[in-house]
Amino acid sequence: MLASVHSGTIHGVEGLPVEVEVDIAGGLPGFDVVGLPEGAVKEGTHRVRAALRNSGYAVPARKVVINLAPADLRKEGSAFDLPIAIGILAASGQIPCEALHGWQLLGELSLDGRVKSVRGALPIAAGGRALGLRGMLLPDANAHEAAVLPDFAVLPVETLAEAVAFLRGEREIAPIQVDLAAVLADAARSELDFADVRGQDSVKRALEVAAAGGHNILLVGPPGSGKTMLAQRLPSILPSLTLEEALEASRVHSVVGLLRGRSLLTARPFRAPHHSISDAGLIGGGSVPRPGEVSLAHRGVLFLDELPEFRKNVLEVLRQPLEERRITIARVAGSVTFPADVMLAAAMNPCPCGWLGDPQHVCTCAAAQVQRYRSRLSGPLLDRIDLHVDVRAVAYRTLATAPGGEDSTAIRARVETARRRQLARFTGRPLFCNAQMSARDLGRFATIDAAAERLLERAMNALGLSARAYARVLKVARTIADLAGSEAIAAAHVAEAVQYRSLDRAPA
């Protein structure tokens, strides 16, 4: 007898439908799985056999052939255990086959029949919904992340017996309901606040500009000056996630298995990988490509501390995602595209010893050492970072007596006002900000008057700025004007934007 069960698999961050076909025929008892299954899928037959037996169901003592269609798509993971077990029960007459119509099944089985969590429930459920299915049976631990999809019934099951009882019509399972508006409204704000940072007003201003326009930023300063502390508070002044942004970011975290029972991400991601990370760990990869840290920071902040300590080949692979806001990984079997719309925040010392330019310490580095240290960052990579900001050490009196600075709530209010101006300007591009402007956009929205043009020309000639750096200055000036509530870009706005190119001004 033949039975068919709807399931799904992950390709990049997309969920693709998979049809699990089970045929029971004469022959020596055994399970054969075809359709390009990976090792975890093949091993699943042992889990399925034990789960069926320990749950009190008959295991057919005949030849069982399981086909995962489409057969030319590689299948991996343990999520096919539940659909295979249900398919075997349907093919052996223990479940009516018509009960499977319209339902998608997903889940790993333990040997005693419990249904365990899997990766990628959200994108797989989205693929089933696009196929026109009415709902999904999946592990209770994954139910809330899949329930964010409208008009799609998500039924949580804890054991194989629960799923069988539902399909036989012996029990009801209430669909999980998630109020997305309430989830986003109740999102807890970060405990990190700019009010904790004493001094560093100029750096806070630069971070406000970066947040308002979605610009990449590099903090350069001696050890202990507060670079990491400031960068960690950057998400606290970014606008709250919209529903669309939350769904995009949650899809990536679901594929990696980082949602941990939550419906979706409610705060912007902040990822801070160690400088020993590989290029595959940063941008994604593997024989079956998985998202890297850049994609996990999608719609949030990617923080690279001690930037020159990262291997050069690792840093250079950032150039494409920073420009295109997506990552395409090509393999023999095909290519996968991951989202990578991130704000890059980075920090570095001014020299190997860290004390170049510090009035309280003597720098012991030779000029050649400083040059080698800074040359670890290529010109094309630095050109893609809009703001280079000097971070000076804070004096003792400021640390001991200065009151706390402006809190993140007040700064975020100005950032959100500037983002609303951009939203009105870039009609039809709801998640667009100044950092993403093209050359055509610059010609329309970043025109400058004669005084500002003369100032920018002198800066270009004096600093030797590249064409890309010229565009970055205009984008930052556009953001500074938005923060000031000005539609026109004045010379003062351009002057401040030029000041945020400290590495272009610094001597080699």
3-class DSSP string for 25-91: ECCCCEEEEECCECHHHHHHHHHHHHHHHHCCCCCCCCEEEEEEECCCCCECCCCCHHHHHHHHHHH
Q: Write the CATH number for 203.
A: 3.40.50.300
Q: Please indicate, yes or no, whether residues 331 and 293 belong to a single structural domain of this protein.
A: yes
**Residue 198 belongs to a domain:** yes
- Name which of 132, 76, 70 is nearest 104 in CA terms: 132
Which position has the token pair 């693929």?
A: 127
**Residue 218 belongs to a domain:** yes
Nearest-angstrom CA–CA distance, 141 and 105: 14
Q: Cα–chain-centroid distance for residue 85?
A: 34
Q: Please indicate, yes or no, whether residues 398 and 456 belong to a single structural domain of this protein.
A: no
Q: Please indicate, yes or no, whether residues 146 and 199 belong to a single structural domain of this protein.
A: no
Domain that residue 484 falls in: 437-508
**Residue 89 belongs to a domain:** yes
Q: Please indicate, yes or no, whether residues 346 and 483 belong to a single structural domain of this protein.
A: no
Q: How confident is the model at residue 14, as a pLDDT?
A: 94
The answer to whether residues 211 and 238 touch, using CB atoms and an 8 Å cutoff, is: yes
**Residue 325 belongs to a domain:** yes
Q: Please indicate, yes or no, whether residues 142 and 24 belong to a single structural domain of this protein.
A: yes
- Name which of 347, 345, 339 is nearest 321 in CA terms: 339
- Per this entry, what is the length of the chain? 508
Out of 377, 397, 424, a domain closes at 424
Q: Please indicate, yes or no, whether residues 115 and 157 belong to a single structural domain of this protein.
A: yes
Q: Please indicate, yes or no, whether residues 96 and 229 belong to a single structural domain of this protein.
A: no
Nearest-angstrom CA–CA distance, 108 and 505: 57
Q: How confident is the model at residue 396, as a pLDDT?
A: 76
Over its length of 508 residues, how does the chain's per-residue pLDDT go in tens digits?
899 999 999 999 999 999 999 999 888 889 999 999 999 999 999 999 999 999 999 999 999 999 999 999 989 999 999 999 999 999 999 999 999 999 999 999 999 999 999 999 999 999 999 999 999 999 999 999 999 999 999 999 999 999 999 999 999 999 999 988 888 877 766 788 999 888 899 999 999 999 999 999 999 999 999 999 999 999 999 999 999 999 999 999 999 999 988 889 989 999 999 999 999 999 998 878 899 999 999 999 999 999 999 999 999 999 989 999 999 998 776 789 999 999 999 999 999 999 998 888 999 999 999 999 999 999 889 889 999 999 998 887 777 776 667 899 999 999 999 999 999 999 888 889 999 999 899 999 999 999 999 999 999 888 888 887 899 999 999 999 999 999 999 999 999 999 998 887 544 3
Q: The tokens of 412 are what? A: 């975020």
Out of 377, 394, 424, a domain closes at 424
The SS3 assignment for 328 reads: strand
Q: Please indicate, yes or no, whether residues 23 and 124 belong to a single structural domain of this protein.
A: yes
Out of 403, 424, 445, a domain closes at 424
Q: How confident is the model at residue 220, as a pLDDT?
A: 96
- Name which of 344, 346, 343, 370 is nearest 356 in CA terms: 370
Q: Write the CATH number for 118.
A: 3.30.230.10
**Residue 181 belongs to a domain:** no
Count of the separate structural domains present in the chain: 3
The answer to whether residues 413 and 189 touch, using CB atoms and an 8 Å cutoff, is: no
Q: Please indicate, yes or no, whether residues 448 and 493 belong to a single structural domain of this protein.
A: yes
Q: The tokens of 240 are what? A: 């709250």
Q: Is 45 exposed, middle or buried (0-12, 13-18, 19+ CB in 10 A)?
A: buried
Q: Cα–chain-centroid distance for residue 308?
A: 23
- Residues 6 or more apart whose CB falls under 8 angstroms from that of 494 comprise 448, 452, 455, 456, 473, 477
Q: The tokens of 48 are what? A: 């399925």
**Residue 189 belongs to a domain:** no
Q: Please indicate, yes or no, whether residues 382 and 456 belong to a single structural domain of this protein.
A: no
Q: How confident is the model at residue 140, as a pLDDT?
A: 95
Nearest-angstrom CA–CA distance, 369 and 135: 62
Q: Please indicate, yes or no, whether residues 113 and 219 belong to a single structural domain of this protein.
A: no
Q: Please indicate, yes or no, whether residues 409 and 467 belong to a single structural domain of this protein.
A: no
User: Taking the CA of residue 140 as centre, how many other CA atoms within 13 Å lie in the half-sphere pointing to its CB?
Assistant: 10
Nearest-angstrom CA–CA distance, 126 and 14: 8
The answer to whether residues 15 and 8 touch, using CB atoms and an 8 Å cutoff, is: yes
**Residue 178 belongs to a domain:** no
**Residue 238 belongs to a domain:** yes
Nearest-angstrom CA–CA distance, 177 and 148: 8
